[in-house]
Every structure is written in C-alpha cells, then in structure tokens.
Chains A and B, each alone.
Chain A
Amino acid sequence: SQKIEQNSEALNIQEGKTATLTCNYTNYSPAYLQWYRQDPGRGPVFLLLIRENEKEKRKERLKVTFDTTLKQSLFHITASQPADSATYLCALHYGNNRLAFGKGNQVVVIP
C-alpha cells in the first residue's frame, strides 16, 4: 500500500541549531515533492517544491533534498528561531495533480 512517513515525535531543538526532518515514502513515484508549514488551527502554507530530477533546493534558511532511490526527502531549517516552531508537512504529487500528505512533524525551537 502507499505510505508517507514522517516522524510522529516532536523535534525539540535549541535556537540557532539546524533542524532536520525526514519524509519517507513507499509505492509512490512522485514527479515532485512539496513541503508546507502549518500553525495550530490554520491552513498549511507552501514552503518549497523539489522536482524528481533535482537533488537539492534552497530558500533562505530552508533546504530540501530529494533522493528518489532511497524514496526520501530531508527538510532542513538552519539557524532555527522560535518563530520556526510549527508542524511541517511533506506532500507528494501523484496522478492528476493531486497531493498526498504526510501526517506532519512538529518542530519546537527552544530559546
């Protein structure tokens, strides 16, 4: 069956350190993968998109990698700040312009 796995345990990290989140998937062949940020009680907000032929994408303090052999994406927040505290969702493209979402991984940045 198709599955997208993100760590269910919250990641607690000290301010200034790099937070790294993992997204693993099985039985998907996504043309691209996206990462979203979601704050409590609000809709997700798009952060980054990476295509299957790209290894790495950066935007300001964010970096995403995509390994189609390992079926894995890593999401990094460098120089983390308390304002980065949120839940981060991995989303895979599949048939007919749909997205399949992981359950999300909560990040808590400790001042």
Chain B
Amino acid sequence: DGGITQSPKYLFRKEGQNVTLSCEQNLNHDAMYWYRQDPGQGLRLIYYSQIVNDFQKGDIAEGYSVSREKKESFPLTVTSAQKNPTAFYLCASRGLGDYNEQFFGPGTRLTVL
C-alpha cells in the first residue's frame, strides 16, 4: 500500500527535551511538508522540502529543525527552544508538477508535560 506514515501517534515530552517526529512516504513524492495544527486553528507550515538535501522554512520555523537525507523521509525535531510545542503535527507529501494535491499522514499528537 502506498502512503505516508507518521510515528508515534501520541508522544509525551518533558519540558526542556528535544523530540523527533518521524515521517515516511513510499509515494515517490519529491516534496514533503510539516504542519502544526492547534485547536480551532488552521494548518500552519513549519518546514518544507522540494528535493533531497534541501529544505526551506515555513511560517513558524522557530524552535524546529528538519533534515531530508532520503527522498522517503522527512523527520521533524521539536527543540526545547519551541515555546508552545503541544500540538497536533501533520506531515504531507506531494508529487512535483502543478496542480497536485498534498497527501497527509495520520498525525502525531505531542504533549509537553
């Protein structure tokens, strides 16, 4: 089955700790995205990558870091510098070319204790 997976589904972290969220896709998509969703809010773009070994900051990149060493994988690290990390994190991928939709993973709910 082709798709995009995120793990874990639920994650708990103590304040001051870094944590890495996994995102893997087997759709052969070049572009990958990380969004954050807070209750009653729309999706906000954290980072995106359109090709291996390259990525760009989105609208709310502060306190986050990413890497894109493989086409299939785009992990997101939430660092201790992120002031309000508790949120629902969504990863998406997209084929290159105009007018393509984004395919989303199931999300990871991060709670900082």
**Which residues does A use to contact B, with CB under 8 Å?**
4, 8, 31-32, 34, 41-46, 49, 51, 89, 96-104
Contact = CB atoms under 8 A, between A and B. Distances in A.
25 contacts: A8-B40, A31-B98, A34-B101, A41-B107, A43-B104, A43-B106, A43-B107, A44-B43, A46-B102, A49-B99, A49-B101, A89-B42, A89-B43, A96-B56, A97-B50, A97-B96, A98-B45, A98-B48, A99-B45, A99-B102, A100-B45, A101-B42, A102-B42, A103-B40, A104-B42
A50 B17 CA distance: 43
B94 interface: yes
B8 to A, nearest CB: 14
Given A43-B106, A97-B94, 11 more contacts: A41-B109, A42-B106, A43-B90, A43-B107, A44-B43, A44-B90, A51-B99, A97-B50, A99-B45, A101-B35, A104-B42
Contacts of A45: 104
Which of A31, A51, A97 has the largest count of B CB atoms less than 10 A from its CB?
A97
Contacts of A102: 42
Contact-size category for B? 20 to 34
B43 A101 contact: yes
Contacts of A103: 40-42
Given A97-B31, A98-B45, A46 B40 contact: no
Contacts of A96: 50, 56
